Amino acid sequence: MLDIALLNLMPNKEETEADFAHICAESAEPVHFILTKMSSHVTRHASAEHMALYTGSEAVCQAHDDGSQPLDGAIITGAPFDWVDFPDVDYWPELCRLMDWLRARQIPTLYVCWGAQAALHYFHGISRFEEYPHKLSGIFPQHILIPDHPLFQGIEEPLCIPHSRHTSMTNSEIDACADVTVLVRSDETGISIVECMNGLEFYLVGHQEYNLRTLDNEYRRDVSRGLPVCPPRNYYVNDNPALPIVDTWQENGRRLFANWLNHYCRG
């Protein structure tokens, strides 16, 4: 059994939990998620009963340190803060303490979407550039720069990755950063996967964990709110939201997560 701390910063807690459970299903060992929250933040999108399943980050760290619940790895999810400066996020100090603690304890960590942006900014000083003219949403084929890397075992290009965001980090700064290695990128989405500290940390700028309908749910939610969004690209047949969804990413996504769990979290 692999004990993985899942710091779930997404509004839809249960859907996110299910997405990560699904994407980790091909691990060589069963995965037990320790549902983790920021104690300095009060969520408005989940019931008190459901949040009772979560443990504050400080308690998770303490349980690892005292040996009662040692961690094999950690995942820090995305969060809905595209237009908020990192230091203005209410739980930023607590998150920074957790990121420092994970690195100091050498616990393998996946940082996903906004979590990846936060880690790139905090650890490496990478800045966020202005938002896109329109939301970047869809399934985008990527180029794997190091095909024999353990993370890509059994994966053949195209590695298609869901993206759903209004902003990105400054790619030229990432390319110039000597502390990281860019593993995956595309002309449309820019850099998508970055490695740091020989695999101790991976920054996944996309959403490999998204299930078949996540982008569809987001699109129809935004339309119902009257937001000026376009249908997710490369997602529906002929990019037509009235037609079926084409699954080009889930199988490779499960392989990628299994590779991370098997190569980096199993000790």
Catalytic residue status for 96: no
Catalytic residue, candidates 113, 160, 196, 265: 113
How far apart are alpha carbons 136 and 96 in whole angstroms? 27
Other beta carbons within 10 Å of 1: 9
Catalytic residue status for 113: yes
Give 241: exposed, middle or buried? Use CB within 10 Å, 0-12, 13-18, 19+: middle
Eight-class DSSP state of 59: H
Catalytic residue, candidates 195, 201, 209, 218: 209
Catalytic residue status for 121: no
Catalytic residue, candidates 149, 201, 207, 265: 207
Give 185: exposed, middle or buried? Use CB within 10 Å, 0-12, 13-18, 19+: buried
Longest dimension (CA), the chain: 54
How far apart are alpha carbons 145 and 108 in whole angstroms? 22
User: Catalytic positions, please?
Assistant: 113, 207, 209
